[in-house]
Structures are given as structure tokens and as C-alpha cells.
Chain A
Amino acid sequence: MIQRIRMAQVLRETVSTPYSDLVTRPTGRAVRGRIEQAMVHTEALTMHLDFSEIGLLDFSCADEVVAKLLLVTVANPDCCIVLHGVSEAQFEAIDHVLRGQQLTVTALVHETLKPRLLGWCTPDAAGAFEVLHSSGGVDPATVAGALGWSFDRAMDALDDLVVRRLVRCQDGRYSTVALA
């Protein structure tokens, strides 16, 4: 089950200014508070945060909204967060703050519908993510075969993605979280 949250709407409900920019820490904190409230009242396990109507996203808000939301929800291993409609400039801000804290999130960038990982991750995890995205649900042997890795290496990379809540694992098969 997926819950979609339109960030522009949350922003409008949070601040009185007419702008669509997600800037300043207090604003980011208030916006995150509303998202957390929404999460309490839903049974959805995957949250889609839609940035498509947001203009500017500064580093402070990227930290308050995305990084801190990932940290707040870390206690719930079933809760996954996917960013939608992220512009190239927003991508850079989010990527920058997540790398600093060794966090990762899946994002769909405006122009392409291909999911990308933002933030910090190992090259192996990034490689495994690519295979998963192009193949759908796979087991570690498939990833190992596709990348010329040992089974254990593929398993480690996939488990790293699961720990980071970027991938789900069921009955030994791994798949990306619902993106649409």
C-alpha cells in the first residue's frame, strides 16, 4: 500500500508565504512534522513524497525533510520512502545532505522515470540496485550472474539495500519498493 504526499500542498498548509520554495529549517521541520502525522494515520508502508510542484529546495530543508525523515523512520524497517518529481537542482541538494550522513533514498527525477539512488551507497549496492530495477524481482544468484560476482557478494549488496529500506525481500527474492 502506498501513500502519496504532495509536498507543495503540505508546504501551502504550513507557511503563509505565496512561494513554492521549500527553504529554511523551521519550514522544513514543520513540513516534516505534518508528514510524520500523516504516517501515523496510515497503514501504507511506502510513502511517496511528490516534489513536482516545489521550486527551490535548500540544504537545510533537504536535511530537515528528507534526511531527518529517514532517520525518524529507521525504527520501522517496513517503512520505505520514495521521492517523486525531483528536479536536478533538488536532486543535488538532497544528495549532498544524505551523503554527509551516510543515508540513501530512491528518487524518480522529473525528466526520467528511471529510479536513482540519492546519497551515500557502496558501488556494489548501486550495481545490485541497477540489476533489480531492470529485472524486477530476483534472487541473489541472478544478481551474481548478471554482474559476474560471487553469490555472497551479491547477497551482501542486496542485504545492504534492504537495511537501507531501498529494496524489499520476500521468500529469498528481492525487489525494488513500489515506485508508482
Chain B
Amino acid sequence: MRVVPVPLSFDDRALDTLAQDLAPWPPGERLLLDARMAKWASPYAFTSLLTLGQALAEANQEKPRFAVPENEAVRSYWAKTGFFRFAAEFFELHGKVPKKLAELPNDVLLPVTPVRASEDVHEVVGKIQEGASRMLVGELGLEAKAAMGFAMALSEACQNIVEHAGTSGWVAVHAYTFRKRLGRRVVVIAVSDAGIGFRRSLESSEAKKVGERWGDGAALECALLQGISRFRDPGRGQGLAGIKRYLERWQGKVAIRSGTARVSVGPMWGDDEVPRADHLAFFPGSQLQIVIPAQEGAAG
């Protein structure tokens, strides 16, 4: 059994470290994901961990062990986000898992939710609108119309799973303070699936055109920057384009990691951030993150 430490502070960038520790893929031996020392996790972390569990199951790997956080407050928070509810399906959980789930914390706009079919997208979009409006307008200082655009972005992000992944996925939406990189409150949509990834999705139509440069990064650029879809229908590819347009208005950012690459569109909030990162350690499926920051001078 191989022990893979879960990052203490687990956000989108920390997933790169986890992916390095997982290599090679598939692992070929039983894993123990050690989250005992974990202190904080973003919605991206929760959806990615579930994707990892799902991908291991779909690759017929032995069910991994998962050591839950030792800190009671952390454990309780993870339970409230809905993580353990689904983690039990993919991991053999070790440690004290809170059984009774209290109401959602205020900063969790959408707990971890599975996305398997279009009906799930209807549910997600229908449930989130009131909370999104409260958070975006009340705390982040955005205009009222931002809430509708937010729900549209969420809908399109979730639909990518149903339309392209070839398997199910996960979505979660939290608000938190982006201390290290931005120093402001943000709302974050995290969507992750264990599916075929952007490269395989676009390979048959785009690989020849791109030639030697074809790979995960090129595929992500095709989809996110050029709005290319595997469907020939001219109406396709509008979802990601619409998300970008929405984020441009509110100085937000979208980043997609798939396979060994990540492409981001929007402001770069850290010295180490780049629009495109290649040669990352492989992580299964695709992970999308949308970040909407509080407007300058907002109360949040």
C-alpha cells in the first residue's frame, strides 16, 4: 500500500502536488490517502478527490483507504460540505466520520452534488439561485444581474460533464477569502469529472490540424480559447464562450485542468500563475474552476 498525503491546504494548485504523489497512473497498488493533518480544502479539492476515487473504481483498482482529518472542526466542515456522504462509496474511510450532518455552513452555496444527467443540472441551477444572489450582490458587491449570469455559467459548466465526459461528475460552490493570492472574498464553482478529458474528446476532429503540438494543453486551448467542440453544429462551443464573457465582466477567472495541462483565462493573481501550464503530473478526467472575486471596496 502506498501512502499519498492529502495537501494540508488543498486548493486547485495543490492538486498538482497530489497528482505528482499519485504517479504513475493507474497506481497499480492500493492507495491510502492521508488527510489526517488536513486543515482546509476548497470545493475544487472535494470534487477532485471524489473524481480520483471514481477514476480508481472505473480503472478497476482496489478501493483506496482514506484517513479522515483529525481536527474535529475540519472533519465537521468536510462532512457539512457533503464530501463524506459520497466519499464512502469510493474510499474505505478510516477515522471518525461525523454521522449527523447539520445545516449547510453559510459559505457553502452548493454542497458536493453529483452530476449524472440533465435533470441534475436543473436541480443544481434551481437550488442555487437564491443563495447565489445573496452572496454575489450582498457580500461581493456585484450588480443584481450578476446572479443570473452566475447560474448560467454554473449550468454550462455542469453540462460539459453530461455532454462530453462520458461518465458522471461532481459540482460544489463555496465562498471564501482568497487570502494568499488576492486578499479578497471570492465565490468559487468547482466542477470535476472522471471522464475522457478534453484531448480525447477533441482528438478525432482537431489532432491532425494541430499536428505535433497536439496534447492536453492544445486541446484545452481549442475548447477554451477557440470555442471548438467535437460536435460540428455551429451552435456548439457557446457554453465556455459564454462563461468567459461573463467572467470578463466581473474580473473573474476560469481554469481547466485536464490530463497533464491547465489553461486559464482571466487575471493572474499570483507570481507563479501562467495562462497555460503543460507537463503537469497526470490527474484523471477534467477539473474546471470558476472564480468570481468581490468587487473593489465591497463589504465582503
Q: Which of B118, B121, B156 contacts A59 (CB 8 A)?
A: B156
Q: Which of A15, A17, A58 has the most CB of B within 10 A?
A: A58
Whose C-beta in chain B lies nearest to the C-beta of A89? Answer: B148
Q: Which of B126, B149, B151 contacts A17 (CB 8 A)?
A: B126
Say yes or no: is A96 at the interface (Cβ < 8 Å to chain B).
Answer: yes
Q: Which of A24, A55, A57, A62 contacts B162 (CB 8 A)?
A: A24
- Whether A100 lies near B235 (C-beta < 8 A) is yes
Whose C-beta in chain B lies nearest to the C-beta of A71? Answer: B235
Contact code string A50-71 (vs B, CB < 8 Å = 1, else 0): 0000011111101110011000
Chain A nearest CB from B218 CB (Å) reads 22
Size band of the interface chain B makes with A: 20 to 34
Question: How far, in angstroms, from A27 to B239 measured CA to CA in the complex?
Answer: 15
Say yes or no: is A151 at the interface (Cβ < 8 Å to chain B).
Answer: no
Q: Which of B118, B151, B163, B234 contacts A27 (CB 8 A)?
A: B118
Say yes or no: is B159 at the interface (Cβ < 8 Å to chain A).
Answer: yes
- Whether B122 lies near A59 (C-beta < 8 A) is no
Inside 8 A of B236's CB, which chain A residues have their CB? 63
Contact code string A21-32 (vs B, CB < 8 Å = 1, else 0): 101111100000
Chain A nearest CB from B16 CB (Å) reads 30
- Whether B242 lies near A24 (C-beta < 8 A) is no
Within 8 A of B (CB), among A6-35: 15-19, 21, 23-27
Whose C-beta in chain B lies nearest to the C-beta of A66? Answer: B235
Say yes or no: is B96 at the interface (Cβ < 8 Å to chain A).
Answer: no
Size band of the interface chain A makes with B: 20 to 34
Chain B nearest CB from A111 CB (Å) reads 13
Inside 8 A of A23's CB, which chain B residues have their CB? 121-122, 125, 155, 159
- Whether A60 lies near B239 (C-beta < 8 A) is yes
Question: How far, in angstroms, from A62 to B148 measured CA to CA in the complex?
Answer: 14
Whose C-beta in chain B lies nearest to the C-beta of A92? Answer: B149
- Whether A60 lies near B122 (C-beta < 8 A) is no
- Whether B145 lies near A89 (C-beta < 8 A) is yes
Contact code string B151-172 (vs A, CB < 8 Å = 1, else 0): 1100110010011000000000
Question: How far, in angstroms, from A23 to B206 measured CA to CA in the complex?
Answer: 28
Inside 8 A of B145's CB, which chain A residues have their CB? 88-89
- Whether A96 lies near B125 (C-beta < 8 A) is no
Say yes or no: is A97 at the interface (Cβ < 8 Å to chain B).
Answer: yes
Question: How far, in angstroms, from A102 to B18 measured CA to CA in the complex?
Answer: 45
- Whether B163 lies near A25 (C-beta < 8 A) is yes
**A-B contacts, 8 listed (Cβ < 8 Å):** A18-B126, A19-B123, A58-B151, A58-B155, A58-B156, A60-B238, A89-B148, A89-B152
B residues contacting A by CB (< 8 A) are 118-119, 121-123, 125-126, 129, 145, 148-149, 151-152, 155-156, 159, 162-163, 234-236, 238-239, 241-242, 245
The 3 closest A-B pairs by CB, nearest first: A19-B126, A89-B148, A63-B235
